[in-house]
Each structure stands twice: as structure tokens, then as C-alpha cells.
Structure 1
Amino acid sequence: MKKFLIVGLGNIGEKYENTRHNIGFKILDNIAAKEDITFESQKLGSVATFRFKGRTFILLKPSTYMNLSGKAVSYWLQKENIPVENLLVICDDLNLDFGAIRVKAKGSDGGHNGLKDINATLNTQQYARYRFGVGSQFSKGRQVDYVLGEWDTDEEKLLPERLEKGYELVKSFGTAGLNNTMNTFNGK
């Protein structure tokens, strides 16, 4: 049975729960709710598993904080014997408008500290990532406050539909493959 590691990046703790930087956690929480599964606290993160069309999806919310995400990703890839081509990392992206989706097969960290640590720990940039646009409505020097800030009222209203897209995207990654997923979801 093919296995996939789906990593949602975020920071643990209540104060970060509803922040833009935690969209990875939020997408995985939505998938867990849809699949009626719960996360269990395990080594280096919270983990939940579901099966769909003969595939096993292991959802991981690292407990290492954003800047040390690589340790958790590396551990779970090895523990579950999952090849890096079956890894999908979900993170926020300031360079995309709110809710915009960009799925890529590889790439730089784009200034994202979670991706930076994963790249360094895995010693590769050759893994799929799903970037969720959070926009860039912040003044100069306020980037950290913005990503660690909570969603505004308009964004909150639009999030459920965007989270649903994330659920469909993750299933597509495991069943239709990366290229088909990029063609179907990029720019949506």
C-alpha cells in the first residue's frame, strides 16, 4: 500500500492556533474532521492516519515549532519508510493573495523558516509543497506580526471553502499524482 506523509506547518500552543502562519495545521485539522479521525501526540508531532483509494495518508503536525520542522519531517519519513517523493508540505505564503494555491514539485524556501529547516535537514529541495496564500497586507517591518496575527473577518468567512480545496488537493496528491494535482489546483 502506498504511503504519503502530509505535513502541515505551524506552531504549537493556543496563542498560535488561529494565526496565518498555522494554516498547515488548520488544513490538516479540517482533513481530520472530514475523515473523522483524531490526532495523537507522538514523537516530534501530532499524527493522524486515514486511507483513501488504497493509499495511506499520514498527517503530521510537527511539535518542534516552525523553525525546527525538518527534524520531525525527517523522523516520520524514516519511521514510516516513505520516499521523499511522497512528501507534501503545507505552509503559508506571503507572496500569494489570500487563499491562492500554489503546488510545486520543488523549490527554494522563499524566506519561509519552516521550509528552510526542512531543506537543510533533508538536504534537498526536491519535495512537493502546497503554499497557501495569506496575502501581504502589512507595513514595512511588520511581516512577523502579520503572519503571527489572526485571520480578519473577511478571511474567516472564506476559509471553509479554501480548507475544502485543501482536503481535495491532498487526496489528489496521493491518487492522481503531483503533476495532475498542480494542473487541477494551481491558481484556484
Structure 2
Amino acid sequence: AAGFHKIAPTAITAWHDELDLAPGKIRVKRGGGTAGHNGLRDMQRAMATADFARVRLGIGHPGDKARVTGHVLGNFAKDETWLTPLLDSLADAAPLLAEGREADFMTRVALLTQEA
């Protein structure tokens, strides 16, 4: 789709779940590998590059490898109170990310989630 619409990979930001980050933690990076993430692998294959930004959203690891698929594809539990404030903070700070101000984005999200 990016090629059809003539969108450069450097103008794309992928938002994805991350098992290796604690629930509610985020990281921003540009480029890199897929770490086994099927969505990132598909994006890299379709664009023929890894040069796009990623916002990694921590969901934590369930502990047992056999439970990973259900954890990743399942719904969040109702008692996971960190989710709504994080999503609100991400939405509020997203314009900073769109402007290429990754550090300001991270700072804004951190401040907003501390206030929640």
C-alpha cells in the first residue's frame, strides 16, 4: 500500500506489541530486525527495507512459551488499569511523533502516564 500511495518507508511508523517490554512500557526506534514479529516481517518484506520507525508497546511475557500466542492474540484483562491511560497518552503525544520529535514524544507520554 505504501508503494501504491508513494509513501516513503521513512515516513511510516509501525505500532506493535512487544513481549520483551513490561506492560505499559514503550520504546521508539527506527530500523532493526523483526524479533520474530510477523507483522514487522511482513512490512519489511513488502517495503524491501527495515528503515521505518517503530513504537514498541509492552505487553509483557506470559512466562510460558506455550502461552505466548494466546497472550498476544487475546483480549486484555479488565483489571489491566494501565492500558487506558497509556492509550490516551499515546494519542495525545502522537503529533510529536509525526513531526519527527521522538524524544519529545517519549517525554510527553511519560509525563502523561505519571499523571494518570
Aligned match for 2:96, one of 172, 179, 187: 172
Contact 2:97 / 2:105 at 8 angstroms: preserved in 1? no
CA contact (8 A) 1:85 1:127 kept: yes
1:185 aligns with 2:106: yes
| Distance in 2 of aligned mates of 1:111 and 1:182 | 26
Matched with 1:98 is 23
Q: Tell me the CA shift for residue 149 of structure 1.
A: 1.8
Find the residue that maps to 1:153 and give its secondary structure: coil
What SS does structure 1 have at the residue aligned with 2:3?
helix
SS in 2 for 1:144: helix
How do 1:142-157 residues align onto structure 2 when only pairs under 5 Å count? 142-155=67-80, 157=81
Kindly state the Cα deviation for residue 117 of structure 1 after the two structures are TM-superposed: 0.9
Contact 1:104 1:182 in 2 (8 A): no
How far apart in 2 are the matches of 1:103 and 1:169? 13
The structure with more strand, counted as a fraction of residues: 1
The unaligned stretches of length 5 or more in structure 2 are 111-116
Q: How many residues align?
A: 109
Q: What residue is the counterpart of 2:48 in the other structure?
A: 123
**Residue 81 (structure 1) shift:** 2.5
Work out the CA distance in 1 between the residues paired with 2:92 and 2:6.
Answer: 24
- Residue in structure 1 matched with residue 87 of structure 2 by the alignment: 163
TM-score (normalised: structure 1): 0.53
| Aligned partners of 1:95 and 1:135 also within 8 Å | yes
Tell me the C-alpha RMSD between the 2 structures. Answer: 1.9
Distance, in Å, in 1 between the alignment partners of 2:104 and 2:37 is 24
User: Which residue matches 1:84?
Assistant: 9
- Which amino acid is the alignment partner of residue 110 of structure 1? A
**SS, match of residue 124 in structure 1:** coil
